[in-house]
A and B are shown apart, each in its own frame.
Chain A
Amino acid sequence: EVQLLESGGGLVQPAGSLRLSCAASGFSFTSYALTWVRQAPGKGLECVSSLGGNGVTTYYADSVKGRFTISRDDSKNTLYLQMNSLRLEDTAVYYCAKVGTTGVWDWGQGTLVTVSS
């Protein structure tokens, strides 16, 4: 069974930094792309950043480009999202998702990031 467990969310001040983690199990971690999706309070879903299965190719939404960095640690089966220069509009629940080759995505339960002074 695929399991994805996000952690690292919390309250941070504007311009601050935070690192999210997503611990994965139940599948071959290095064989799949992984994506961070966020949802601001009362709003829709936004794909924020992806890491290819090769662990090298990265993708970022324009809204976070230059501020967020996605990476993974294969020895820990863990995906990360380093978030710098945080803004009020980055407040959201952040989900990690395993990108299935057939279109089936598996999701974690999310971690809440609140950017506020």
Chain B
Amino acid sequence: DIQMTQSPSSLSASVGDRVTITCRASQTIGRHLSWYQQKPGKAPKLLIYAASSLQSGVPSRFSGSGSGTDFTLTISSLQPEDSATYYCQQTYSSPMCSFGQGTKLEIK
């Protein structure tokens, strides 16, 4: 099974900050990596797919990069509505998958 490790598990940042979350796969997964944002009581919302493709309707301050085993989600200028938990997901083993443990982002 492919294990996904996210870091950090939580972080606190101010509006306007640049924020980076990393995700590492236990084996190479090419670019089969997605990023989700989840707010309490809601289903996960797709932000990035195929490592760096921005899902339609998602603000351009979100970006993704990486390939192989190491991936990054960047929020270029943090907004108050970005407070949420973020998950990476490998779809290399699609239709099954695995997720990182999540990163809880708090706005100071």
Contacts and interface: CB of A to CB of B under 8 A. Distances in A.
B104 to A, nearest CB: 11
Contacts of A104: 46, 49, 55
Interface residues of B, number: 21
23 contacts: A35-B95, A44-B87, A44-B101, A45-B44, A45-B102, A46-B99, A50-B95, A50-B96, A95-B43, A102-B49, A102-B53, A103-B32, A103-B34, A103-B49, A103-B50, A103-B53, A103-B94, A104-B46, A104-B55, A105-B34, A105-B49, A108-B43, A110-B43
Closest 3 A-B residue pairs measured CB to CB? A33-B95, A50-B95, A103-B49
Interface of A: 33-35, 37, 44-47, 50-52, 59, 61, 95, 99-100, 102-105, 107-110
Interface of B: 32, 34, 43-44, 46, 49-50, 53, 55, 87, 89, 91, 94-102
